[in-house]
Amino acid sequence: MFEAIATGLQYLAQSTGIYGFLQAGGWGNFVMILVGFLLLYLAIKKGFEPLLLIPIAMGCILSNIPFAYIAGDPDPTNGQIGFIQILYNAGIESGLFPVLIFMGVGAMTDFGPLIANPKTLFLGAAAQLGIFTALIGALLLSFIPGINFDLNVAASIGIIGGADGPTAIYVTRYLAPDYLGSIAVAAYSYMALVPIIQPPIMRALTTEKERKIKMQQLRPVSKLEKILFPLEVISVCALLLPSACSLIGALMIGNLAREAGCIDRLSDTMQNALMNTVTIFLGLSVGSKMAADKFLNLETLGILLLGMIAFGVGTAGGVLLGKLMNKMDPKHPVNPLIGSAGVSAVPMAARVSSKVGQEADPQNFLLMHAMGPNVSGVIGSAVAAGVLMSVVPIFVQLSQMA
């Protein structure tokens, strides 16, 4: 009898979180839980994109609790998987959440600034430079022992440079599903840290005189133009890059609902109920991939480093092109700061551009001008994703044949 009681007590003790933390590797779970608390601090106290960081932080904390089996492997006692893992399987592995996010973003986005000033499309394109910089960097890192990034993985890492979490998830699930967790975490982490990462780069590449440049007021854009724009974009995408039609199509469905003026209920649902629900589920799912056994390794650290470089290069690319455009057409001045908004983190990057501009001149209002490259960056990252998804498999096949 006493032996049975002792066995029961031992089993009970070994099922506690304390025992799990004390086991080999348990320290890693404890460290990642502390990381989750740090993310909560940044979100709640510092206000760094709480809509993203709070669900990600909670997913990180819950997934690192020993023996909870909320995410990751199923419970060995009954074979059941946790609720966050169910969300991950349904929305991330299937690619559904990124598409729904794009639909909500489209419904929330006014493409008027881009239509009124089409040349800002080039700023959004220039900011995608970080994607291809990180792709090359990932291939170079493969020469380091312990890191093995093939072309599929390198392309997936590169898309982090667009600062577009849904696009990063969509591309990675297609090209390198085994790296989906770490790439998604890196992409969303840098999206949330836009207010920290971008301003030093913007200040370093511009003079105070450039930051004070005031741009001409945008022309009014008619309702017909706004209705035709999503249809034109879908048509061009269908003809030239069908592989990007899922993301671009969802974006334009949302935008057409916004601009049509006759389906306000659907537009409101996309902007609010749908967007908020998917953000919660997606944040928890992404955070769950910060489990210690998957996250604390050399390859993940390499992905985080490359993501930071890609994000910095993308920001710099937009700013530098803005400087060049300003020199080429001084009659229509362009404040180079709006180029940084081309990284597509909507509307965070546009707000950061405006804030840095107002530091130099409180009367300089750049937000609407920055929204042009910001929304073009969303389109640009989706186009870059379509190009990678079309071209990379071809190169992989050719390399295997060689």
Which token pair is 58? 């909670």
Q: Measure the CA–CA gap between 133 and 316, rounded to whole angstroms.
A: 12
Q: Are 358 and 227 in contact (CB under 8 A)?
A: no
Assessment of whether the complete model's pTM goes beyond 0.85: yes
pLDDT at residue 402 in the model = 65
Which token pair is 258? 């916004």
Q: What is the DSSP string of 240-307?
A: H-GGGHHHHHHHHHHHHHHHHSS-HHHHHHIIIIIHHHHHHHHHHHHHHTT-HHHHSSHHHHHHHHHH
The mean per-residue pLDDT over the stretch 126-138 comes to 85
Q: Higher pLDDT residue, 290 or 11? A: 290
Q: What is the pLDDT of residues 306-363, one digit of tens each?
A: 888 888 888 999 999 999 988 888 888 889 999 999 887 778 889 999 999 999 999 9
Q: How far is CA 362 from the centre of its chain?
A: 30
pLDDT at residue 24 above 60? no
pLDDT at residue 21 above 80? no
pLDDT at residue 1 in the model = 62
Q: What is the DSSP string of 5-55?
A: HHHHHHHHHHTSHHHHHHSTTHHHHHHHHHHHHHHHHHHHTS-S-HHHHHH
pLDDT at residue 105 above 60? yes
Q: Measure the CA–CA gap between 306 and 391, rounded to whole angstroms.
A: 21
H helix count then E strand count, the chain:
22, 0
pLDDT at residue 295 above 90? no
Confidence of residue 6 (pLDDT cuts 50, 70, 90): low
Write down the mean pLDDT value for the chain: 87
pLDDT at residue 188 above 60? yes
Confidence of residue 55 (pLDDT cuts 50, 70, 90): very high
Q: What is the pLDDT of residues 237-294, one digit of tens each?
A: 999 889 889 999 999 999 999 999 899 999 999 999 999 999 999 999 988 888 887 7
Q: Measure the CA–CA gap between 14 and 7, rounded to whole angstroms.
A: 11
CB-based contacts of 82, cutoff 8 Å, min separation 6: 68, 69, 70, 71, 72, 75
Confidence of residue 22 (pLDDT cuts 50, 70, 90): low
Local structure of residue 74 (DSSP, 8 states)? P
pLDDT at residue 149 above 90? no
pLDDT at residue 10 above 80? no
pLDDT at residue 29 in the model = 85
Q: Measure the CA–CA gap between 320 and 121, rounded to whole angstroms.
A: 14
Q: Measure the CA–CA gap between 400 and 395, rounded to whole angstroms.
A: 9
Confidence of residue 185 (pLDDT cuts 50, 70, 90): confident
Q: Are 376 and 120 in contact (CB under 8 A)?
A: yes
> Please, is 245 exposed, middle or buried when counting C-beta atoms within 10 Å of its C-beta (0-12, 13-18, 19+)?
middle
Q: What is the pLDDT of residues 199-243, one digit of tens each?
A: 999 999 999 999 999 988 888 999 999 999 999 999 999 998 898
Which helix (H) or strand (E) segment is 56 a member of?
helix 50-63
Q: Measure the CA–CA gap between 321 and 125, rounded to whole angstroms.
A: 10
pLDDT at residue 19 in the model = 63
CA torsion angle for 85, 89, 91, 95 (degrees, to 10)?
Answer: 140
Confidence of residue 23 (pLDDT cuts 50, 70, 90): confident
Closest CA to 318 of 273, 381, 253: 381
Q: Are 44 and 50 in contact (CB under 8 A)?
A: yes
The mean per-residue pLDDT over the stretch 83-102 comes to 92
pLDDT at residue 257 in the model = 96
